[in-house]
A = this chain, B = another copy of it.
C-alpha cells in the first residue's frame, strides 16, 4: 500500500499523506466440524455439483431431468431428425467397416476366438447409445485392453490348452471390470483415473504398441517369403495418427478409413482364388453364425482363479475407462458439450456388465475409431446403433465369408492400429516443456516393454505420486525483496530488481506445512537466517531484527505444522529475533487461533495482512534499534 512507501524507498511517486493504519488479519467466519466435513465431501465427491440444474424446478420437471440424467438418449432423442440420421448412417457404416476387422483382430490379441470380437462390437454399442453422454465415442474392443486382458490371464491359464476356462475367465474379468467401473462412477471416485496422467498414457501407449507389434510381426515374418503381403504394413502405418492433427479430417480420410475392410476383402478373395491356405497361409477358418449367445452362466467365481480375474478386471477396467473418458472429453471439448466423467463411468461399467453376460469381453470408446466416427460426421450415439446393426447383419449372414481371411491381414490391421498410438510429437512436446514428466513417460514406456503392462503403469503412477509427495516434503522457500517504488514483494532470485529491506528477512513458504515437511522447513529456515547474517556481516549492514514468514501460499497446516511455528518462534527468540506472520489463509488462521486458545503460544501478536504493511509498521522499530546499537 501506498502508506508504506515513504518509509521504504525514495523512488517512485510518493503520497503526501502518511496513514499507518494497518489491516487486521481476522479468523474466517466460524463453521462447525460437520459443516466443514460436508463442504469437504461435496468438493471431493461432487465437484461438478450434478444436482445444480434440479434446484428450484417443479416436481414434474425434476422427474424429466432425472430420467434425462440417467438416460442421455432422452435428452437428444426427441429432437432427432432425418438430417442427423443421414450423417449418423454414413459414420456408422464407416466405423462398422473398421469395427469388424478390428474386432476379429483384437479378440485374437486377447487370445480369444475371433467371433468374440464381433459379439463385443454388437451389444456394448447398443447399451452405450442409451446410457452414454458422448456423441462421438465409437464403442467396441480396443487394442490395449485386449492385450492386457490376454497377457494377464495367460499368466495362469493357457488359452490353447484350456480354451473354455480361458473364455470363462475373460468374461468374468469383464464382469468385474464393469462392476469396478460402475462403482467408481456411483461412488463418485472418478478422480482415480486422473492419476494416469497424459505423460503416462503417451509412454504407456507407445510401449504397448511396440509390444503388440513385435508379437504380431513374429507371426507375420514367418510367412514373409510366401506372400509379400508385408508391404501392407508400411502402407498402412501412416494412416491413423492420434496427434492433435489427426482429430481434424485428414486428406485421404475415406481411403484410410476404408483400408482395413478393403484389405480384408481383397486378401480373402486372393486366398480363396489361389487356394493359398494350402500353401502355408494360415486362415481364420469356419466361424459360427448367429447373434451373441447368453454367457451369464459362464461367469466363474471359483476360488482358484478369483484373485486373477479381480486383478485383471481392475486393471483392464481402469485402463479402458481412462481411454474411453479421455476420448470422450477430447471430442466434447472440440464440439463444446459436456461429458460427465462419473456418468460415463457408470455407462461404460454397465455396458461391460451387460457385455460379460452376452459373450462380450472388455470394451470401451476407442481412440482411432472415435476419430474416424467424428470425421465421418457422426452427430449422435445413433452412429453406434448403425454400427451395431451392421455387425448384427454380419453375424447373421456374412460369417462364412470370413472363413478364408488370412490371419496375416489381421496382424497387419492390429499393427496399423497400434502404431498410430506411438505419438512422437506429443512425447517431444513433453520433453521440451517438463523434463520430469518426460521421465515419467519414459518410465511407463520402458516399464511396459521390459516388465509388464500393469507393472509399467504402477511404476509410472508411483513415480508421479512420489513427485507430488517430494514437492510437499521439500517445499520451496524463497526470499522476498521489495520491487522499488511499490509495495510489491517478490522472489529475489526471480525478480532481479527486487531489493532486500535491511533488518528484515522475508521468507515465503510455497506449500502446505505438515508432518512431512516441518523438519525440513526448520532446518531450511535456520540456514536462511545464518546465511543472511553472514552476508549482512560482510556487507556491514544493520543487524537482522525481524523474520517475516509470508504464509500466502500455505494452503493448509496440521498439528506438526503448528508445532513447527511454535518451535521457530522459540528459536528466533533465543537469537533475539522476532517472528512475524503475514496473511495466513482461512484454515491456517483458524488453527493458529485454536492452538492459541489451547495455551500453545503462537505468534498471534505479530500478524499482518501484507508484507508491505508488516515492513512499514515494523521498520520504525528497526531504525530505532539499529541506531541504539550503533551508539
Interface residues of A (CB under 8 A from B): 1-3, 5, 13, 15, 17, 19, 23, 26, 28-29, 33, 40, 43-44, 47-49, 52, 191, 194-195, 197-200, 333, 336, 341, 429-430, 432-437, 464-465, 468-476, 478, 483, 486-488, 490-491, 493-496, 510-512, 514-520, 523-524, 527, 552-553, 555-556, 558-560, 562-563, 567, 570-571, 574, 583, 585-586, 589, 591, 594-595, 597-598, 600, 609-610
Contacts and interface: CB of A to CB of B under 8 A. Distances in A.
Contacts of A198: 515, 559-560, 563
Contact of A520 (B33, B47, B465): B47
B474 A469 contact: no
Contact of A558 (B434, B472, B490, B600): B434
A493 B491 CA distance: 28
A389 B86 CA distance: 96
Nearest to A473: B191
B47 A194 contact: no
Contact of A555 (B434, B470, B510, B609): B510
A511 B585 CA distance: 13
B464 A468 contact: no
A327 to B, nearest CB: 14
B194 A519 contact: yes
A511 B555 CA distance: 7
Contacts of A436: 558
Nearest to A527: B49
A555 B476 contact: yes
Given A2-B5, A47-B474, A496-B29, A197 B511 contact: no
Contacts of A510: 553, 555, 585
B435 A28 contact: no
Nearest to A27: B494
A586 to B, nearest CB: 4
B555 A194 contact: no
A560 B329 CA distance: 14
B23 A13 contact: no
A2 B15 contact: yes
Nearest to A325: B519
Contacts of A586: 478, 491, 493-494
A516 B464 CA distance: 9
A33 B552 contact: no
Contact of A515 (B194, B476, B524): B194
Nearest to A483: B23
Contacts of A2: 1-2, 5, 13, 15
Nearest to A28: B494
A559 B426 CA distance: 11
A464 B562 contact: no
Counting from the closest, the 9 A-B pairs by CB-CB distance are A197-B515, A2-B2, A510-B555, A553-B553, A28-B494, A494-B586, A13-B17, A48-B523, A437-B559
B555 A1 contact: no
Nearest to A570: B333
Contact of A341 (B478, B491, B519): B519
B194 A517 contact: yes
A343 to B, nearest CB: 13
A57 to B, nearest CB: 14
Given A40-B474, A43-B474, A468-B512, 8 more contacts: A23-B486, A191-B474, A194-B516, A200-B515, A429-B559, A432-B597, A434-B562, A494-B586
A560 B197 contact: yes
A110 B246 CA distance: 66
Nearest to A193: B519
Q: Which of A199, A488, A559, A594 has the most CB of B within 10 A?
A: A559
A254 to B, nearest CB: 29
A232 to B, nearest CB: 34
Contacts of A52: 527
A48 B527 contact: yes
A195 B514 CA distance: 10
Given A555-B476, A598-B432, A471 B512 contact: yes
B336 A574 contact: yes
Nearest to A2: B2
Contacts of A33: 435
